[in-house]
């Protein structure tokens, strides 16, 4: 699997955060005067990543710890430990952590290493932290990582008040039980454009970091710790084989959890005993899962369709179906929407745009793939799927319009995926009629940096790839012109 698609590496999807995190400066309490005075009392961050590991929980009261060498700030964020500037009954601690953001990019943050590793299970999978924020509605990304760079998992919480202490909770449901974590990365005001200026509105305080993890005597479920541990499955797949090691068939990412379970509703078009299940936890909306395929397949020009039976708790849920090549990193995805709730239906995805020469050995699925669709691990974010087949006989369904047949009813330019990206991304657009199409890319200075399409296109849904290997990191605009229709969207390149 192409790891860059799902690993944030100190970035995350600008789509989600633009929707749920809106920074609006708010007046703060009288403690702001004390806070402003402390902003100039900074010390240098470690020049090299050779940090002091600290025990959990973290409360900053032990002044024998060399706190100047505990946190490592990156991209213009700074963290140190100071006296509590707003000591009261909500947080009577003498010392707290201070985070100052004076950055060139919004994902500026800091990380620290823990003395011992920890892991999460279904019962114990949260982290709590006391936060003092100068503004309400500030999104905070608290990322799990492994200090050797081999794994990461993002979770978000949002401040609800300003100028006072509050306790926030981050959920890590869906984190693989097989991974041991030893690094926490904190990014305050994780929102595009929120770079900070180092002043009072960009200074936060935090304390009492409690990691509610599994205990040393708890049993861990078997399963893959990395994608390399997966046991490939065959196609078509109906999940009925009892001798297969299903614990190693699926790999979830962000907060997606896949498993083989008994059919919860053996009725209608699907009375089989066993099915796949996807649970979407509290991570970003692109949380999902994937499977490796034992024999690479190509797309049949005569039957370029993937089909799958789906049981959805809600109708009109967009499901992304993606094929990838582990070796080359090639990828192609399409989206179809569910049409019913609480019963099995047959869904299909048109893969004709993937071509007929490339080989594919990974299938990725993301349920409820839409801006703001953050799961909670409950019934409304649990889907079941069965009978996965590629090169099947079926009718392709247009993106976002499951009842339209071959051709969409309207012009539309879709958000690129993945986003942020490095260095390639896919851009899809739909045409209700044959049109002369121009698809262009511009930088924020208004200079055209690429032409992705220029010519006649038939009615239907089309996908093109944008390779930004020669461009610098930043925000870019892409514009579709089809006849009199014009639509522009933004995308974020992060290198």
CA distance linking residue 145 with residue 9, whole number of Å: 10
Closest CA to 159 of 39, 26, 11, 284: 26
Residue 164 is predicted with a pLDDT of 97
- Residue 122 CA to residue 173 CA, distance in Å, equals 7
Residues whose CB is less than 8 angstroms from the CB of residue 25 and which lie 6 or more positions away in sequence, other chains included: 134, 135, 201
What architecture is the 412-493 domain classified under in CATH?
A: Sandwich (2.60)
- Per-block average pLDDT, block size 10, for the chain (495 residues)? 32 35 31 38 50 96 96 93 97 97 86 95 93 96 86 86 97 82 94 86 97 88 82 96 93 86 96 95 82 94 91 94 88 88 93 85 93 80 96 48 51 82 87 90 85 86 88 88 86 84
**Are 3-212 and 227-390 equal in CATH topology?**
yes
Give, in order, the Cα–Cα distances in Å from 133 to each of 31, 201, 464: 11, 8, 42
Q: What is the model's pTM?
A: 0.58
Pick 227-390's CATH classification: 3.40.30.10, 3.30.2010.10, 2.60.120.200, 3.40.50.720.
Answer: 2.60.120.200
pLDDT of res. 281: 78
> Measured between alpha carbons, how far is 472 from 27 in angstroms, rounded to an integer?
37
Q: Where are the beta strands (DSSP E) in 84-233?
A: 95-101, 109-118, 126-132, 139-145, 152-153, 156-158, 165-171, 181-188, 203-212
Write the Ramachandran bin of 285: left for phi over 0, alpha for psi from -120 to 50, otherwise beta: alpha
C-alpha to C-alpha distance for 414 and 435, rounded to whole angstroms: 17
Concatenate the DSSP letters of all residues of 340-356 into one string.
Answer: -SSSEEEEEEE-GGG-S
CATH number of the 3-212 domain: 2.60.120.260
Domain ranges of the chain: 3-212, 227-390, 412-493
Dihedral of alpha carbons 480, 481, 485, 490, sign? positive
């Amino acid at each position: 699997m192409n790891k860059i698609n799902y690993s944030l590496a100190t970035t995350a999807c600008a789509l989600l955060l633009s929707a749920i995190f809106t920074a609006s400066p708010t007046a703060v309490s009288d403690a702001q005067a004390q806070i402003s005075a402390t902003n100039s009392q900074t010390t240098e961050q470690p020049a090299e990543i050779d940090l002091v590991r600290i025990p959990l929980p973290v409360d900053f009261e032990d002044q024998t710890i060399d706190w100047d060498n505990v946190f490592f700030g990156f991209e213009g964020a700074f963290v140190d430990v100071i006296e509590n500037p707003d000591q009261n009954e909500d947080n009577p601690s003498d010392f707290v952590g201070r985070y100052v953001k004076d950055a060139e990019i919004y994902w500026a943050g800091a990380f620290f290493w823990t003395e011992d590793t920890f892991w999460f299970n279904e019962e114990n999978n949260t982290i709590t932290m006391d936060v003092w924020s100068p503004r309400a509605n500030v999104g905070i990304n608290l990322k799990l990582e492994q200090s050797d760079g081999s794994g990461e998992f993002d979770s978000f919480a949002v401040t609800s008040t300003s100028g006072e202490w509050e306790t926030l909770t981050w959920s890590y449901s869906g984190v693989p039980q097989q991974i041991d974590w030893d690094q926490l990365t904190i990014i305050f005001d994780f929102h595009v454009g929120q770079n900070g200026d180092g002043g009072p509105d960009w200074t936060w305080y935090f304390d009492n970091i409690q990691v509610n993890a599994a205990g040393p005597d708890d049993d861990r479920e078997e399963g893959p710790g990395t994608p390399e541990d997966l046991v490939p499955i065959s196609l078509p797949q109906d999940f009925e084989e009892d001798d297969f090691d299903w614990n190693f068939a699926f790999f979830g990412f962000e907060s997606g959890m896949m498993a083989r379970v008994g059919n919860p509703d053996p009725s209608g078009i699907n009375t089989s005993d066993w099915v796949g299940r996807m649970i979407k936890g509290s991570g970003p909306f692109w949380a999902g899962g994937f499977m490796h395929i034992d024999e690479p397949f190509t797309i049949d020009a005569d039957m370029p369709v993937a089909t799958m039976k789906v049981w959805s708790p809600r109708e009109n849920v967009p499901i992304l179906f993606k094929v990838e090549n582990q070796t080359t990193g090639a990828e192609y995805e399409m989206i179809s929407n569910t049409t019913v709730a609480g019963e099995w239906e047959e869904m299909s995805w048109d893969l004709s745009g993937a071509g007929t020469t490339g080989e594919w050995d990974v299938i990725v699925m993301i349920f409820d793939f839409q801006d703001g669709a953050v799961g909670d691990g409950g019934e409304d974010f649990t889907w079941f799927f069965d009978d996965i087949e590629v090169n099947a006989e079926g009718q392709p369904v247009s993106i976002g319009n499951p009842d339209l047949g071959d051709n969409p009813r309207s012009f539309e330019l879709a958000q690129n995926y993945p986003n942020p990206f490095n260095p390639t991304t896919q851009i899809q657009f739909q045409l209700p009629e044959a049109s002369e199409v121009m698809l262009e890319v511009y930088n924020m200075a208004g200079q055209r940096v690429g032409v992705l399409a220029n010519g006649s296109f038939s009615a239907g849904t089309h996908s093109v790839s944008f390779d930004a290997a020669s461009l610098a990191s930043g925000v870019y605009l892409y514009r579709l012109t089809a006849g009199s229709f014009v639509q522009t969207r933004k995308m974020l390149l992060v290198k």
